[in-house]
Amino acid sequence: MKYISTRGRIDAIDFRRAVLMGLADDGGLIIPQSIPNVADRLEIWRKLSYPQLAFEVIRLFAADIPEADLRGLIDRTYGRAFPEDVVPVVRVGGLFVMELFHGPTLAFKDVALQLLGNLFEYILARRQGAMNILAATSGDTGSAAIYGVRGRRGIRIFVMHPLGAVSPIQERQMTAVLDDNVHNLAVQGSFDDCQNIMKSLAGDLEFKRKYNLGAVNSVNWARVLAQIVYYFRAALDACEAAGSKAAAVCVPTGNFGNVLAGWYARQMGAPISRLILATNCNDILARFFQTGQYSLGKVAQTLAPSMDIQVASNFERYLYYRAGSSPAALRALMDQFRKTGSLRVDSGGSGAVDPLFASAAADEQQILDAIRTTWRDHKYLLDPHSAVGVSVARRLAGGIDGPIVCLATAHPAKFPAAIRQATGEDLAHHPDIDRLMELPTRCTTVPNDAQKVRQFIVQKVASSR
């Protein structure tokens, strides 16, 4: 398997090079040259443990890693940082809920970032190299990335988060990690500003190469690849439990990375009937799948801060395929969006923008209502991001055939204020979170300025040599 860029201006590269490159050197996103079809393997895969399933999926895309090494990386990832049942599926009323929050930072991004940390270490050791990771986070990516690479030899990580726009616990999970190779930056701007800084510096090829700049955001293909696995698990488990041939999966999303993994799983043959895309009031993605218009709005701060995003970086991968896998057509769409803040994709006469996708948004009251009613009726506690998905799934369920699996993306203990507001009770606790509040922290506030972030990286790299 080789990898190319959506923009079409890099030579094909292997998996290990794709992992280290992160954002493609031409400013695009790295994608596989082909998507394997595994529909004939589903009966066998249904019986596999999660590490076994992860190996079967990932080896199709990582041919340049010896299978014994890859199996060891996967076993080490999911055998140490997670419970035996890595991503359990439970019934909650008429829905299934897949719990993706059993990793070290209690968020779904651990599932991919624990593996990515091991991949980085493995690849760098064989190249005798070092890496400086630059990450932008709206909340959970930062802590999951930090926990994936903290203390690892040859790796430094610089994590930018929007000042005052992540939850206090999300901020603590990042800034309470004091390892020498971890640097937290609070940017005086939005998450989209942080993401723009990351892309700006990664797009400076001289700087990127001189400082071996890498990425852990979902622009990194390995992030998306690791997430594909749990879509197979979700669909296979729900189909078996419900006696159905296919299942719908409801995904709360802001940056389109999580739901994109579901799209790839469906293209590979996973028994997924629909992908239900759920956003909060930052609804650029929901509006696109309803109208075909992808147009910027103003970022609003909500109870689900990890989804407070307007520019979804992974959307470019989906657009590439919608543009007929044409780099030139994709570049034209992205240029139009850069110049006008808007682009349009026609349905091609089929009516729906994409029949695979259903979409809707949940406002603040609907988020609170989903938390409250799910606790009242089923004694199951949702965090506000997972509540976005459950709220949308309930409203759209009448038009969906078969079981629906809602992805629970974070532990409710990360958002105690929202839980208290919804239920009137102090229910959201976890011992790891409770311990955080007593720990010292370290963070640097910086202007919304790529040059200032560049200077910070240069200074820290120089001082650590």
- Tell me the catalytic residues: 109
Report DSSP state, residue 348: T
Q: Which H or E element spans position 431? A: helix 431-436
Give the separation between CA 160 and CA 30, rounded to whole angstroms: 22
Q: Which two tokens stand for residue 100?
A: 């993706």
* Residues in Cβ contact with 450 at an 8 Å cutoff, skipping those fewer than 6 apart: 196, 197, 200, 201
β-strands 155-162, 131-136 pairing: parallel
Report DSSP state, residue 381: P
Composition of the chain by helix, strand, coil, percent to 5: 50, 15, 35
What are the helix (H) ranges across 243-379?
A: 257-268, 284-291, 315-322, 327-340, 364-378
Residue pair 265/228 in contact by the 8 Å Cβ criterion: yes
How many Cα atoms sit within 13 Å of 263 on the Cβ side?
19
Give the separation between CA 159 and CA 177, rounded to whole angstroms: 12
DSSP-derived 3-state class of residue 269: coil
* Residues in Cβ contact with 215 at an 8 Å cutoff, skipping those fewer than 6 apart: 22, 23, 133, 134, 135, 198, 202
Give the separation between CA 343 and CA 236, rounded to whole angstroms: 36
Give the separation between CA 249 and CA 259, rounded to whole angstroms: 9
Sign of CA dihedral 444, 445, 450, 455: negative
* Residues in Cβ contact with 84 at an 8 Å cutoff, skipping those fewer than 6 apart: none
